[in-house]
């Protein structure tokens, strides 16, 4: 934020953007806390994870450019996702959300985008088999360029330098650590390019079930596990083959799928610059504010303070939103937060993304479920709860890693807790990559700490590799089949 210190409690005195609410045919609106809302009203609130730029005029130029550019997503697409997430909230669909921890501009290539989409499609096919319900797919892509940091600086070779905070802010190379406002516009164009390629791929038959993907299970070292996974693959392929034989696969819906985009709505200057007043597809007589940077954005664990800027921005947009819920969240705070961002308790509006770690999920999740139920936000399953994962530790070499078994323990325990509480785990949110990285240990490959150096490429948190991500889908599918 121009002219502001980069500490966690800085006041949001951002450069005034050129968005004029009145020019869009609608001024401010009254939100859940009774106060007027506009795309810029967050600027009056305290700001966490703010960004300090050296060149204020360059910031103004970048933000003005963003405001002149077309929306990245449409109101109709956002409305369709809201309807899909309503089905998830009602237990009629399952939500798969996944992608890179920190998306880089360099990931905007045909090979990397195609590989990630292929992995998400394979995972969703396995989950459809397991739950026997539709799967809603949301990628952490086409915009996941900003990452929150516990510290705004770090020590490298004995020198204090700004922390890498994502390509939308600065570069990982030490020569590029100064925040650069030109990256705001670059983020838009990389998102637009990624979205353009995604839409082209999906509309041209990339996801056509008539051409199922190859399933490689050679990495599975346990013969019993391999046999179990192969049985799932055989069941899926047999079903597709049977549908083709009887002519039941002629529907055009089998030739494509919906894949929505998402990212953490961390950089509010960027989000405001892409917020548009658009016609509501469900009621052409109304116009509503849409954050058109992505179909779905979420509030992180570091920016969910009730009286701060991020909650203020999120309470006014029409998009479905996510909220990260971790060990530091108190039950009463969660209930108040939901009242602010979803005062009308709309089905499909809010997704809670729980992230406790295997060691704390049993202790903390029941209390959060109870707090939400008592606040009236789970009547008729109005709240979707996903399970993310924490479980991060430092390996002997100093790099961060995650244990695959702990991730699956957290997922399994969360699933069981929801069943006991009379609610349901509506989906999973995983940090993953389609690349054969060695960042998380365990899984069928039996990766160990000694293997981390083989292909450790993350610029932020460790991700499941392609084989571990698919294995997670197999295990979740098996749970649902066993409990059916």
- The answer for residues whose C-beta is within 8 angstroms of residue 329's C-beta and 6 or more apart is 301, 304, 368
pTM value?
Answer: 0.90
> Annotated binding residue at 355?
yes
**SS3 of residue 4 by DSSP:** coil
Beta strands in 14-89 (DSSP E): 29-30, 36-37
CB atoms closer than 10 angstroms to residue 320? 29
Distance from C-alpha of 357 to C-alpha of 371, rounded to nearest angstrom? 20
In this predicted structure, which of 225-229, 366-370, 384-388 has the lowest mean pLDDT? Answer: 384-388
Q: What is the pLDDT of residues 45-72, one digit of tens each?
A: 999 999 999 999 999 999 999 999 999 9
> Annotated binding residue at 461?
yes
Q: What is the pLDDT of residues 284-299, one digit of tens each?
A: 889 999 999 999 999 9
Percentage of the chain beyond pLDDT 70 is 88
Q: What is the pLDDT of residues 155-176, one digit of tens each?
A: 999 999 999 999 999 999 999 9
> Annotated binding residue at 324?
yes
Q: What is the pLDDT of residues 3-31, one digit of tens each?
A: 333 333 333 334 444 444 433 334 456 55
Per-domain residue ranges for the chain? 55-151+187-201+256-482, 208-252
Please give the structure tokens belonging to residue 180: 């650069």
Mean pLDDT, rounded, of the chain: 88
> Annotated binding residue at 402?
no
> Annotated binding residue at 387?
no
Is the domain 55-151+187-201+256-482 a CATH 1.10.3720.10 member?
Answer: no
């Amino acid at each position: 934020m121009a002219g502001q210190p980069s500490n966690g409690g800085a006041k949001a005195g951002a450069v005034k953007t050129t968005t004029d609410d009145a020019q869009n045919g609608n001024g401010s609106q009254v939100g859940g806390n009774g106060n007027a809302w506009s795309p810029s009203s967050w600027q009056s609130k305290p700001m966490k994870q703010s960004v300090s730029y050296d060149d204020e005029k360059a910031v103004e130029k970048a933000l003005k450019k963003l405001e002149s550019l077309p929306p990245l997503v449409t109101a109709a697409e956002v409305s369709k996702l809201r309807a899909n997430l309503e089905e998830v909230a009602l237990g009629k669909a399952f939500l798969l959300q996944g992608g890179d921890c920190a998306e880089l501009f360099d990931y905007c290539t045909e090979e990397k985008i195609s590989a990630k989409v292929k992995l998400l499609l394979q995972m969703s096919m396995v989950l459809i088999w397991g739950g026997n319900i539709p799967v809603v797919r949301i990628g952490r892509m086409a915009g996941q360029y900003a990452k929150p940091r516990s510290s705004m600086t770090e020590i490298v070779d004995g020198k204090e330098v700004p922390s890498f905070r994502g390509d939308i802010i600065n570069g990982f190379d030490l020569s590029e650590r100064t925040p650069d406002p030109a990256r705001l516009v670059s983020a838009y164009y990389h998102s637009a390019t990624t979205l353009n390629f995604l839409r082209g791929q999906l509309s041209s038959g990339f996801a056509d079930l008539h051409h199922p993907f190859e399933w490689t299970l050679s990495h599975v070292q346990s013969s019993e596990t391999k046999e179990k996974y192969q049985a799932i693959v055989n069941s899926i392929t047999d079903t597709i083959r049977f549908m083709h034989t009887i002519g039941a696969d002629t529907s055009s819906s089998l030739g494509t799928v919906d894949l929505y985009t998402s990212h953490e709505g961390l950089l509010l200057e960027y989000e405001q610059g892409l917020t548009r007043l658009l016609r509501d597809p469900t009621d052409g007589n109304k116009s509503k504010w849409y954050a058109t940077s992505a179909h779905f954005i979420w509030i992180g664990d570091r920016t969910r303070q009730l009286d701060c800027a991020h909650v203020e921005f999120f309470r006014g947009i029409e998009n479905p939103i996510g909220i990260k819920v971790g060990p530091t969240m108190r039950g009463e705070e969660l209930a108040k937060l939901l009242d602010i961002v979803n005062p009308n308790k709309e089905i499909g509006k809010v997704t809670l993304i729980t992230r406790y770690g295997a060691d704390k999920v049993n202790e903390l999740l029941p209390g959060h479920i109870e707090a939400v139920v008592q606040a009236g936000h789970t009547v008729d399953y109005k709240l979707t709860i996903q399970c993310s994962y924490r479980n991060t530790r430092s390996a002997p070499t100093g790099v961060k890693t995650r244990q695959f078994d702990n991730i699956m323990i957290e997922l399994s325990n969360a699933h069981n807790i929801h069943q006991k509480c009379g609610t349901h785990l509506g989906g999973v949110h995983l940090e993953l990559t389609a690349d054969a990285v060695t960042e998380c240990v365990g899984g069928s490959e039996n990766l160990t700490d000694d293997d981390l150096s083989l292909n450790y490429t993350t610029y932020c948190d460790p991700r499941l590799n392609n084989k571990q991500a698919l294995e997670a889908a197999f295990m979740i599918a098996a749970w649902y089949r066993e409990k059916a």
